[in-house]
Amino acid sequence: MTTILVTGGAGFIGANFVRFLLANRPDCRVINADVLTYSGNLENLTSIESDPRYRFVKADICDAAAMEPLVEEADAVVHMAAESHVDRSILDSEPFIRTNVLGTQVMLDVVRKAPGKPRRFLYVSTDEVYGSLPLEDKSLLFTEETPITANSPYAASKASGDLLVGAYHHTFGMDTVTTRCSNNFGPYQFPEKVIPLFVANLIEGKKVPLYGDGLNVRDWLHVDDHCEAILTVLEKGTAGEVYNVGGNNERSNIELTHSILGLMGFGEEMIEPVKDRLGHDRRYAIDATKIARELGWHPTRSAWPGALAETVRWYQDNTEWWQRVRTGAYRDYYEQQYGRAASA
């Protein structure tokens, strides 16, 4: 049995990754360490919570003493706990620096100093560390050599973690690998992010807020493709290397909005233009040829519009899930499920 410690496994990508790992690697045990911030939701994991190969531990990545025994038990660490919402980082960057920078430094030091065999450390980074590309020249893409030019406090905090990972490999010879992925979509995404937000608003008869001129472009990747890429890099990536992960699926926000409206049978009248996000990056686009060439990974679940339609349908079919998030009821789940054990 191989034991993988996943940080942030109760979030959107984390929960999908934990399920992906258990489904695809029968010889794997998973420890999910998550402090359960507003975006950590154990209801994302009900389908596997009684799997004997899975264990949840409520713990903060900034707390070295809490992380040490978990790391010691693990053969490898997939570090994705983070503050993840750009808009929140504009309102208050402090939690972003704490978790994404200091938390990553704590995790790196705990893994570096853990007794016994060296453990691989995979850092889930983001394409946002590369800054922004112009809309005009579609031939320009982010490669792993593109300089780090983070533009939002979120991106700057992720870039700081990313640079620390590189530094720990260079300085201490740590076995690190990094993935830099584009925008994810799929089930269990916190409903303040654009796709679940729009679907939930439309179901509730509310308009969808569209930033600025709506021309900002993102490269959309299905979360299961991202999970597969993380697992591929964890198992086959070269120590010290960075791998871009993208869907080759650029869409402007207005195009995405029209697609969701069309899939749900609504028209333009449901769009509410709102003031643009401060410092809003214009375009992200990933060149993922390195991971394809060296590790054989290709996205297979992100094809548009089918994959988008499937995701929209998931939120339509799972209204209770996002309604419990919107009302805050999902927070009771930890107490019900783990409260007695946790306080024993």
Ligand X SMILES: NC(=O)c1ccc[n+]([C@@H]2O[C@H](COP(=O)([O-])OP(=O)(O)OC[C@H]3O[C@@H](n4cnc5c(N)ncnc54)[C@H](O)[C@@H]3O)[C@@H](O)[C@H]2O)c1
Positions marked active-site: 127-128, 154
Q: Which residue has the tokens 């809309």?
A: 135
Q: Which long-range contacts (CB under 8 A, 24 or more apart) does 209-212 make?
A: 209/272, 209/273, 209/274, 210/253, 210/254, 210/257, 210/271, 210/272, 210/273, 210/274, 211/253, 211/274, 211/275, 211/276, 211/277, 211/280, 212/273, 212/275, 212/276, 212/277, 212/280
Binding mask 255-294 for ligand X (x = CB under 6 A): ----------------------------------------
List the helix and strand counts (H, then E) for the chain. Answer: 14, 12
Q: Counting contacts by CB under 6 A, is residue 148 touching ligand X?
A: no
Give SS3 for 118: coil
Residues 64-123 that bind ligand X (CB under 6 A): 80-84, 99, 103
Q: Counting contacts by CB under 6 A, is residue 249 touching ligand X?
A: no
* Residue partners of 125: CB distance under 8 A and separation at least 6: 158, 159, 161, 162, 165, 178, 179, 180, 181, 242
Nearest-angstrom CA–CA distance, 136 and 28: 46
Binding mask 152-171 for ligand X (x = CB under 6 A): ------x-------------
Binding mask 31-70 for ligand X (x = CB under 6 A): ---xxxx-xx-------------------xxx--------
For ligand X, which residue of 89, 178, 183, 253 counts as binding (CB under 6 A)? 183
Nearest-angstrom CA–CA distance, 138 and 136: 6
Whole-number minimum distance, CB 63 to ligand X, in Å? 8
Q: Which residue is nearest to ligand X (CB)?
A: 11
Q: Are 219 and 250 in contact (CB under 8 A)?
A: yes
Q: Counting contacts by CB under 6 A, is residue 218 touching ligand X?
A: no
For ligand X, which residue of 126, 152, 244, 311 counts as binding (CB under 6 A)? 126
Q: How many residues bind ligand X (CB under 6 A)?
A: 30
Whichever of 244 and 259 has its CB closer to ligand X, that residue is: 244
Q: Return the C-alpha torsion angle 4, 7, 11, 17, nearest 10.
A: -20
Stretch that binds ligand X, among 12-20, 48-56, 164-172, 233-241 (CB under 6 A): 12-20
Whole-number minimum distance, CB 180 to ligand X, in Å? 8
Whichever of 67 and 208 has its CB closer to ligand X, that residue is: 67
Q: Are 155 and 259 in contact (CB under 8 A)?
A: no
Q: Counting contacts by CB under 6 A, is residue 124 touching ligand X?
A: yes
Binding positions for ligand X, rule: CB under 6 A: 7-8, 10-14, 34-37, 39-40, 60-62, 80-84, 99, 103, 124, 126, 158, 181, 183-184, 190
